[in-house]
Amino acid sequence: MTPQEKIDEIHSILVRWETREKRKRIFAWIYRIFILGLAALVIFAPQLVLEKIFQISEPIIKHIINQVIETQKEKISDISENLKQKVKTFYSGQ
């Protein structure tokens, strides 16, 4: 490898590193602006933030509750069938 090729390789590595660092800095600034925006919303418009949170989470919570109810109904049905079988077995044995 010639000295010029070595220099070119080192230069390309430095350029890639510099580009990566620039991207990191840009992303960090975007992230900071986003976080500060959210903080400003929470500080200056908490009612709006809470309304949006409840608006988004309400269907999810309803779905979870409905799933729990269905599961409990199935368990109750299974227990009921089990009891019926035990009662039939008990009375048929006498």
- Residue 91: the pLDDT is 84
Mean pLDDT, residues 25-41: 93
- Residue 16: the pLDDT is 86
Say what percent of the chain tops pLDDT 90: 46
Instruction: Tell me how many degrees the CA angle 8-17-6 measures, rounded to the nearest 5.
Output: 20
Please check the confidence at residue 94 and state whether its pLDDT lies above 70.
Answer: no
DSSP string, 19-72: HHHHHHHHHHHHHHHHHHHHHHHHHH-HHHHHHHHHHHHHHHHHHHHHHHHHHH
* Its pTM surpasses 0.85: no
Nearest of 30, 48, 50 to residue 22 by alpha carbon:
30
